[in-house]
């Protein structure tokens, strides 16, 4: 079905707006996936705050202009599904990677983060990025470690003193 010019402009504007605020992008070839599998992928994307869209390559190239995902233009060839992470930089990569484990037809073409183009082999690196909550937890653990160590050290001093006094008492009792 042919799209009218107004429809094309609306698609380009919509994708551009999302891409402007997205944290990372993943392009994948979806040839061979059934309608049911695509529906399942879209459902998972909604649950993980990932914008997932099949867009004509010419429209997608225009949509990424002026965004940090402009580096993806050369990868927009053939049937392409675009996944954009909205809240967590690794969300789109995790979604596509996990879905591709069960469905070999889904093949990663390219990734982009912060204006840097990454190859499909880098999907593990991007997917392993911690979520915001995990990163905050790690930071809290790092900040808490010196305080915990100091408290343990200060607590050890009276404990060691008590053990020394007890050992001296045991020696005198034995003698």
Cα separation, 10 vs 110, in Å, equals: 25
Q: Which residue has the higher pLDDT, 5 or 141?
A: 5
Average pLDDT over residues 39-52: 91
Query: For residue 28, what pLDDT is reported?
Result: 92
Collapsing DSSP states into helix, strand and coil, what is residue 87?
coil
Describe the chain by its helix, strand, coil percentages, rounded to 5.
Answer: 60, 15, 25
User: Residue 113's beta-bridge partner residues?
Assistant: 24, 116
Confidence category of residue 1, pLDDT binned at 50, 70, 90: low
162, two tokens: 């008590």
Q: What percent of the chain has pLDDT over 90?
A: 14
pLDDT digits (tens, 9 = 90+) for 109-162: 888 888 888 888 878 777 777 777 777 787 777 878 787 777 777 777 777 778
Query: For residue 120, what pLDDT is reported?
Result: 82
Query: For residue 36, what pLDDT is reported?
Result: 93
Confidence category of residue 164, pLDDT binned at 50, 70, 90: confident
Confidence category of residue 44, pLDDT binned at 50, 70, 90: very high
């Amino acid at each position: 079905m042919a799209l009218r010019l107004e429809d094309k402009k609306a698609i380009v504007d919509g994708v551009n707006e999302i891409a402007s605020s997205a944290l990372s992008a993943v392009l994948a070839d979806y040839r061979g996936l059934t309608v049911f599998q695509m529906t399942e992928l879209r459902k998972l994307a909604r649950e993980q705050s990932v914008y997932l869209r099949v867009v004509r390559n010419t429209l997608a190239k225009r949509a990424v202009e002026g965004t940090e995902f402009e580096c993806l233009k050369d990868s927009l060839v053939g049937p392409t599904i675009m996944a954009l992470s909205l809240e967590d930089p690794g969300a789109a990569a995790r979604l596509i990677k996990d879905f591709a484990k069960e469905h070999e037809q889904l093949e990663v073409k390219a990734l982009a983060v912060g204006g840097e183009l990454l190859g499909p082999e880098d999907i593990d690196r991007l997917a392993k990025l911690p979520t915001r909550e995990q990163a905050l937890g790690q930071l809290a653990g790092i900040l808490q470690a010196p305080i915990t160590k100091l408290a343990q050290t200060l607590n050890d001093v009276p404990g060691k003193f008590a053990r020394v006094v007890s050992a001296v008492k045991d020696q005198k009792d034995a003698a």
